[in-house]
Amino acid sequence: MNLLEHELTYPLGDTLPAFGGRLEVAPGVYWLRMPLPFALDHINLWLLRDRIEGREGWTVIDCGVSTEDVRRHWDTLIEHEFEGLPLLRVLCTHNHPDHVGLAGMLTRRFGAPLWMTVGEYAMGRILSVQMPGTDPLATYKHYLRNGVADSPQLDALRTKTRSHYPSLVPEMPHAFRRIGDHEDIVIGERTWRVIIGTGHSAEHAALHCAADRLLISGDMVLPRISTNVSVFDMEPEANPLTWYLQSLRRYEICDEQTLVLPSHGRPFRGLHRRLQQLHAHHAERLTAIEQACRERPRHGAEAVQIIFGRTFDTHEMMFALGEALAHLHALWYAGRLQRQQGEDGVVRFATV
């Protein structure tokens, strides 16, 4: 949690939209909220009044996961909050299940196109069909290679046939409209500039309306928690933390009074201060890990304890280990650590 959260301001206070309801945060911009079956128990979606080729309707940004609860809330929204107008476009910031899980259902229901960056769309297609290398066995090997001790719980990944992703994203639309960095997208009366960020995901799209000082930040900038930045089994040489910190610099163009509309937490102001907080947070973690590696070589599972100081279940470990590896890799790519694989097959990092 962000211990410096008091430095941010929340113009709506503690007000939240009900699941299946909407709350206007700017003219024609509505905050939707959907439940998640995780410790992080909600996602924010954004419903924008739109007009495309003379047709009145809505653009929705992100979709929620594919669960019966979320489907039921969408039915309620469509019946009571859409004002009898259709969904004209589904725009997903990135491929994670809480953002794209119901894209297939919504695009099919309304005949609306999916708008997404090509990197996010491609990754979503890969993960939703569970191509080789994205299955539970690949995750199991990733855990072992990075020092997670084998256990009955971990060993169950060997025989597990379905990964978490396809259960929450049962289908991806078979076609999409590509969006790109610095592209201007007209939604209703506003023009939004696409800001691409990496590190949290492949090619995350945030939307910035400079004229009205609005930023739909997706997962790139959150007020209460730090965005997960992970090395996963499919890209074991990645350097996502460095990419993420570089991407944060791209939001410095936003006015200090910008209203940030994040995917988790409440709309807030204080973007520049939050960017500083995130840089400082990761700098502290990098220092702690580097100091520990001076004592002796450390593997990813040990770095998890250094960063978090607690244990995780098998699913949570995927993100905790990924985050620990992201910090180790940032130091390794910067030349501050060296990496070697031991005779036991475990990868460890030590100071140069």
- The ranges assigned to domains in the chain are 5-281
Judge whether residue 304 has pLDDT over 90: yes
Instruction: Provide the H-helix boundaries in 9-80.
Output: 68-80
pLDDT of residue 106: 98
Judge whether residue 326 has pLDDT over 90: yes
Sign of CA dihedral 221, 222, 223, 224: negative
pLDDT of residue 320: 95
Mean per-residue pLDDT, 236-244 = 98
Element (H, E) at 215: strand 214-218
- Is residue 259 helix, strand or coil? strand
- Two structure tokens written together for 97: 């299940």
- Identity of the residue numbered 187: I
Say which residues have a Cβ less than 8 Å from residue 79's Cβ, sequence separation at least 6: none
pLDDT of residue 139: 92
Alpha carbon distance 308, 68 (integer Å): 33
Alpha carbon distance 147, 347 (integer Å): 7
Say which residues have a Cβ less than 8 Å from residue 289's Cβ, sequence separation at least 6: 298, 303, 306, 307, 324, 327, 328, 331
Beta-carbon count within 10 A of 191 CB: 15
Helix 68-80 with 103-110: angle, nearest 10 deg: 30
Domain 5-281 part of CATH 3.90.79.10: no
b or e along 47-64 (b: 16 or more beta carbons within 10 Å of the residue's beta carbon)?
bbbbbeeeeebbbbbbbb
Q: DSSP class of residue 331?
A: H
Prediction pTM value: 0.96
pLDDT in tens, 194-208: 999 999 999 999 999
- Two structure tokens written together for 273: 């201060």
Alpha carbon distance 35, 299 (integer Å): 35
Binned at pLDDT 50, 70 and 90, residue 90 comes out as very high
pLDDT of residue 220: 98
Strands 177-178 and 114-116: parallel
pLDDT of residue 54: 96
First to last CA, the chain: 32
Q: How confident is the prediction for the chain on average, in pLDDT? A: 96
Binned at pLDDT 50, 70 and 90, residue 242 comes out as very high
Binned at pLDDT 50, 70 and 90, residue 155 comes out as confident
